[in-house]
Chain A
Amino acid sequence: MRYLMSGNEAIARGAYEAGVTVGTGYPGTPSTEILENLAKYKPKVYCEWSPNEKVAFEVAAGAALAGARAIVTMKHVGLNVAADPLMTLSYIGVEGGFVACVADDPGMHSSQNEQDSRNYARFAKIPLFEPADSQEAKDFLKMAIQVSEQFKSPAILRSTTRVSHSRSLVVQEERTAEGKVGFVKNPPRFVPIPVWGRPMRQRVEERLLRQKKLSESSPANRIEWRNRALGIITSSIAYHYAREVWPEASFLKLGFSYPFPDALIYEFASGVDSILVVEELDDFIEQHVRALGIKCQGRNVVPGIMELSVDLLQAARAKLEGRAAPLEKPVAFLDQIPPRPPVLCPGCPHRGVFYALGKHDVVVTGDIGCYSLGAFKPLDRMDTILCMGAGISMAHGMQIAGESRKVVGVVGDSTLFHSGITGLLDITYNKGTSTIIVLDNRTTAMTGHQDHPGTGRTLMGEATVAISIEDIGRACGFKRVISADPYRLKNAMQVISEELAADEPSLIVFSAPCPLRERRRVGQVRAIQTDVCKGCELCLGIGCPAIEGGGEKPKINEILCAGCGLCEQVCPTGAIVAGGEA
């Protein structure tokens, strides 16, 4: 029986079949559904959302040192957060199989950068697996656990948006035995103080050589001989695009791609007339092929920026063969098709706060989450984004640099727990005066409503302590900590004005649950009384998708309206009322 599964579901299934008993992670598109699906195998698998990727990585590492098989999941930028434990776990190694499942986002569909996480495998000197579809996602996860356990080394399974979020057919198997838990004390093995760390450093290099032997014979790396004129070396989803564009060519498909299977690469190179490397993002494979002294083409014809596609590879093939690229049919009427970017949902509690901030001449350092959408017009009230937690720390940085305007840091609830708390400490400790606004919608919304330390629920579905953001603020030394309702616009504006005027740091927590998660309206559906409306269009300034403009007077789409009443509060003529047309 075959099942249609997304790559992320298949990774979770692979973990289940591999006897994994601990799964940790922090949500991040396109990786989120791995852990959500693994949690369905409770109680055989314990799963948790940790506050951030570093913690998640360390929790899974602890489990693996105790002998359990464990995976940790994150998006590419999450591995930056977890890079510290990654680099040294490579030294001390693991007992139970340990796989970091990392999902890259070529094309930046839902990310602030486009980094290629394969570099981390080489950086940390650990095995790398790259599935190209769901069946491989499951098989390679199991293989990665096995290789990890065999060499007592952590491993990386690297997915991409198109691998994680494409569905294809998967054959399921039974679950294998679990690892034996019982930590065995061995300081020279587990304590990397220099005297013991230096031998570990040696062992890492010896291990890599042995792992290379294994990758050279692994079924995850295979040669497909067809016509010998052109040989293509490729990995991940790029393999499938390339197969459609070069159906006649021979292929070396890498799945266990680091340490590189040199013997296999040499064998392939000697069997074909010319070589083309087809890979997404960095020239990770190509650089190595060149270093082996093998002539190849790659980045000169295949783009390394944004994701690949069959279309792009058709153009690459034309270039390779000295033909003109196939003409792309222009989209007719393109200039008449209105853009439809993602927007804050109707009823979003963040909208009013951005609207209120728009009344002040301040700099707003923002952060990562749904509220990043506050940077778009018409709200247009976020001036910077760097990474998780930076909205807080950068506000302080601008202020101490001497920025003449007041600087406001904006951060979400899950993001604050993730990496905002140290930034709060920094502001009070170093005598900053920034105003920090927490947009607390009681969930990790952008990635699909995952729980976090403030929600009072765990990924296992159990009730737990709900951490108070206000208490954290006070514990971090904030004297001014204000809780406010983001739906009461006048009050929100007043609170913001007061705190901006303060000559000391302040923390404003605007709390209201995400209506999309609650699956219910905030209040009664609003309507615009056309006879009262003067057509001033101030209500369109809040950027609500339920208010349709473009006509003589705006009107409210009753199906989309979430009843938050923000438009009613900005309407100067009282034309907007609850409960439909009056």
Chain B
Amino acid sequence: MTENETQSTVLVGVGGQGILLASEILAQAAMQAGYDVKTNEVHGMAQRGGSVMAQIRYGPKVHSPLVPKNSAQILAALEQVEALRFANYLAPGGLAAVSAQAITPVTVSFGAARYPENVEEMLKVVFPRLVYFDAAQKAKEIGDIRAANIVLLGVVSCGLDLPLDAWQRAIALCVPEKFIDLNLKAFDVGRNFV
């Protein structure tokens, strides 16, 4: 990998879905694998129930912490229309991992906008390489719906060249001890799903 071959991942969702933890684990895994790493996330006003985006870049030497448009190898979304909103970050031929969760924005509730009914078809049009699945349902099956972010991360891991043990060490470092097993399991579910 050369300096130009920085690997970029964009994680999107809605405030409170665990995007930031997933971002931290990915960054930690890249670091465990010996790469230079930069990440960016949004705080404050931008976080109150609004769209949330985290960006992670790694490689031999990373400059910008922000992912340029049309350059991410992976776009992963914990909320399905958020994948569409940030679709222009994905490189041509990049992998879109989208969880089928739908969270209604307030703008839809008070009638200023509509939540599209045919999101799956739209996703298929926009993303030639699409993994569309219900991460929340998968997480529920292994015992905790809140692990949906880590299930999604398991899918993401299939599109990146980081070794499995780097991911496992990263999870062990980033989550509280009593949740490590659950999260490792959630990660496996995602990784084996593809």
Contact with A along B82-95 (1 / 0, CB 8 A): 10110110000000
Q: Within 8 Å CB of A336, what residues of B?
A: 114, 116, 122
Contact with B along A73-85 (1 / 0, CB 8 A): 0000000000000
Q: Within 8 Å CB of A372, what residues of B?
A: 45
A167 to B, closest residue via Cβ: B39
Q: Is A139 an interface residue (CB 8 A)?
A: no
Interface-forming stretch among A237-245, A293-301, A381-389? A237-245
Give min CB distance, B60 to chain A, whole Å: 13
Q: Is B184 an interface residue (CB 8 A)?
A: no
Contact call A446/B44, Cβ cutoff below 8 A: yes
Given contacts A168-B38, A329-B88, contact A550 B114 (CB under 8 A): yes
Contact call B41/A332, Cβ cutoff below 8 A: no
Give the secondary structure class of B's interface. Answer: mixed
Chain B count of residues within 8 A CB distance of the other chain? 53
Report the contact-size class of chain A (Cβ under 8 Å from the partner).
Answer: 35 or more
Q: B116-134: which residues lie under 8 A (CB-CB) from chain A?
A: 116, 122, 125-126
Q: Is B175 an interface residue (CB 8 A)?
A: no
Given contacts A133-B38, A550-B109, contact A109 B45 (CB under 8 A): yes
Q: Is A310 an interface residue (CB 8 A)?
A: yes
Contact call A545/B41, Cβ cutoff below 8 A: no
Contact call B44/A309, Cβ cutoff below 8 A: no
Contact call A241/B63, Cβ cutoff below 8 A: yes
Contact call A166/B38, Cβ cutoff below 8 A: yes
Q: Is A4 an interface residue (CB 8 A)?
A: yes
B118 to A, closest residue via Cβ: A336
B66 to A, closest residue via Cβ: A309
Q: Within 8 Å CB of B44, what residues of A?
A: 29-30, 32, 109-110, 446-448
Contact call B115/A338, Cβ cutoff below 8 A: yes
Contact call B108/A166, Cβ cutoff below 8 A: no
Contact call B48/A4, Cβ cutoff below 8 A: no
Interface-forming stretch among A142-150, A342-350, A422-430? A342-350
Expressed in whole angstroms, the Cα–Cα distance for A549 and B106 within the complex equals 8
Contact call B41/A337, Cβ cutoff below 8 A: no
Expressed in whole angstroms, the Cα–Cα distance for A540 and B3 within the complex equals 51
A33 to B, closest residue via Cβ: B43
Q: Within 8 Å CB of B66, what residues of A?
A: 162, 166, 241, 309-310
Contact call A310/B68, Cβ cutoff below 8 A: yes
Contact call B63/A338, Cβ cutoff below 8 A: no
Q: Is A554 an interface residue (CB 8 A)?
A: yes
Q: Is A398 an interface residue (CB 8 A)?
A: no
Give min CB distance, A351 to chain B, whole Å: 11
Give min CB distance, B172 to chain A, whole Å: 15
Contact with A along B54-71 (1 / 0, CB 8 A): 000000001111101110
A29-B43, A247-B4 given. 17 additional CB < 8 A pairs? A30-B44, A110-B46, A167-B65, A237-B65, A328-B69, A331-B85, A332-B87, A336-B116, A338-B114, A339-B105, A340-B51, A341-B105, A343-B106, A446-B44, A537-B111, A549-B109, A550-B115
**Chain B interface (Cβ < 8 Å from any Cβ of A):** 3-4, 14-15, 27-28, 31, 36-51, 62-66, 68-70, 81-82, 84-85, 87-88, 104-116, 122, 125-126
Q: What are 15 A-B pairs at a CB distance below 8 A?
A: A4-B28, A4-B39, A110-B46, A167-B27, A332-B84, A338-B115, A339-B105, A340-B14, A340-B50, A341-B50, A342-B45, A342-B46, A446-B44, A548-B109, A549-B111
